[in-house]
Amino acid sequence: MWSRVGISIWLKGTFRTCDPDMVWPSIEDALEGKSLLNAADCVPYLITAFGSVYAWNRSLGAIEFDFQRGRITIRADPRAKDQEASPTKFVTPFLAEEDSYDDYDLYDEAVRKFGPLNEDQIFSFAPIFALGGQPKKGNLIMTNARAHLALLSQSQGFDILHFDRKRYPGGFERVE
């Protein structure tokens, strides 16, 4: 998508298409040692203002890499055998109200403080969560996406979570 149309931005900058090469090393780091997912089978296509990356996987569909929290979320049942994700679910699992994409309720504050993001930037927090940081207004930073995602992916282990609101209390179950 990115190579054909370039960077597309929507929801006032909350989401944008991304250059897969910018996030690829961080996806490889996040999946190191995992048996359920292989980085070679994931195609990154979106990045949020706070650095979550969405990737497409032929078997499991859309996957969210939450680099801030060290979580990889899948919506397809990872236990199902020989499944192939429907291309119609490429983006649709994530469509919802705009507020649901402001994970920290700080997007508007970050834009007021730093201005809009360039295509190679994200908002984040200092210190990072893995070092005890908190998602607070005073901890907001604007930073280079490639470098910061590398820092986040190398400073913590990642859990793979299956999201199914009907099946699990709270919606999530750790699968790896």
Put simply, whether the predicted model's pTM sits higher than 0.95 gets the answer no
**pLDDT for residue 103:** 73
Instruction: Count the Cβ atoms, other than its own, within 10 Å of residue 136.
Output: 10
Can you give the residue ranges of every domain in the chain?
Answer: 2-102+145-174
**pLDDT for residue 85:** 63
User: Which residue do the tokens 């997007």 mark?
Assistant: 107
Question: In the sheet that 159-163 helps form, which strands lie side by side, from edge to edge?
Answer: 9-10, 15-17, 42-48, 53-57, 61-66, 71-74, 159-163, 172-174
Helical spans, DSSP H, in the chain: 2-5, 20-30, 107-114, 145-154
Name the residue with higher pLDDT: 86 or 136. Answer: 136
At residue 39, φ and ψ (nearest 5 deg) are -55, -35
* pLDDT one-digit tens code per residue, 77-115: 887 766 666 655 555 445 554 445 677 889 999 999 999
